[in-house]
Amino acid sequence: MKLPTNQLICLILILANFFSYLGAKELHRERSLYRNVIVTEKNKIRCMRFETRRKKISNQACINLKKPNKLVFEYTQSILAGLAYNPLPKNILIIGLGGGVLPQAFEKILPSAIITSVEIDPAVVSIAKKYFNYKENDRVKTSTQDGRVFVKRALRKKLSYDWIILDAFNGDYIPEHLLTVEFLQEVKNLLSDGGILSANTFSSSELYNYESVTYQAVFNQLHILHSPTKGNRIIFACNCKNFKIPSESTKKLAYQLESYGVELDYLVARISTEIDWDESVKPLTDQHSPANLLSR
């Protein structure tokens, strides 16, 4: 009898994957002010997750212990596509630290950039340091506070950033006060001339429309990168008149990003300016932002 080898291998791989998923070992569990934060590990992939009652597990951050440079999540790879627009941002602001995967990548890729991360939950900061190799120094800084408060304060101090990355999530979705026209306007004001914004989103249903028009209301032109296989959508926008992401990047940058698992040219080619949402809905504002209710 001839065995269908390919299918058999496939099946074994699928099963192995399935069981490995079930058997992730819990390394650490911490009750923070906001939630339970859990660190798990399996097959040298270490992840941070917020405990929720939902069945679907959603990890906040993962690292590959065997290949520490490689970015495990598609969405973090996708965010790096922003480098095609500006390969040398000097000041970077990240709202939502997670495991500190992005600041660590930026520290290595951009030798002179100053990277500030804002995280509301002190437990997340200490877990990032202890389990995800996140280290602070003159170029890598952390501020433990609410992202909105940081942005408002930074505006009053007349700070500005070349790249702002919005990646703040609670157990449900993006906190409501970080998904309004007023907040995004504050973020835009904090961008330097020609500065770029990258926001990680994964809304579906009704919220998708509201979220999109909210970004549109502030930035006009959006460039969207849907993750190749996951449900994430990265929104790119800029503080400039005509926003164009070059379709071809330099060979050097593409080569440099390969070790992070980022296929830059492939990702950049996926970026689209197509509007696939209902533009007739009203943008979310501080006065009206039932974001979490709309996502049901």
Partner 1 sequence: MKKPVILSLAFCAGFSIMCFELLGGRLLAPYFGSSVYVWGSIITVFMLALSIGYLSGGRYSMQKPNLFKYGGIFILSALSLMPTIFFSESIMGWVFDRIEDPRYGSLTASLFLFFLPTAIMGMIAPYSVRLLTQSKDSVGQTAGYLYFISTLGSAIGTIITSFYLVLWLEINQIFWLIFAMMFIAGLLANVAAMREKNEITN
- The residue type found at 265 is D
Q: Is 281 in the site for partner 1 (CB under 8 A)?
A: no
The catalytically annotated residue of 121, 162, 167, 278 is: 167
| Torsion angle (degrees, nearest 10) of CA 35, 283, 91, 221 | 140
Nearest approach in angstroms of CB 29 to partner 1 is 20
Contacts of 37 (CB under 8 A, 6+ apart): 29, 30, 48, 49, 50, 51, 121, 123, 124, 127
Distance CA 235, CA 224 (A): 5
Would you mind telling me the total number of residues written for the chain in this entry?
296
Q: Which residue in the set 44, 135, 152, 244 belongs to the binding site for partner 1 (CB under 8 A)?
A: 152
The reply on whether position 158 binds partner 1 by CB under 8 A is no
Q: Tell me the number of residues near partner 1 by CB under 8 A.
A: 25
**Residues 169-208 vs partner 1: string with x where CB under 8 A?**
------xxx--x-xx-------------------------
Q: Which of 27, 34, 129, 172 binds partner 1 (CB under 8 A)?
A: 34
Q: Contacts for 243-249 with beta carbons within 8 Å, 24 or more apart? A: 243/219, 245/81, 245/84, 245/85, 245/271, 246/84, 246/85, 249/83, 249/84, 249/87
Binding letters toward partner 1, positions 233-272, x by CB under 8 A: ----------------------------------------
Is the Cβ of residue 51 or residue 286 nearer to partner 1 in the bound state? 286
- Distance CA(156)–CA(27), nearest Å, equals 41
The residues that are catalytic are 167
- Positions that interact with partner 1 (CB under 8 A): 33-34, 120, 145-149, 152-153, 156, 175-177, 180, 182-183, 285-290, 293-294
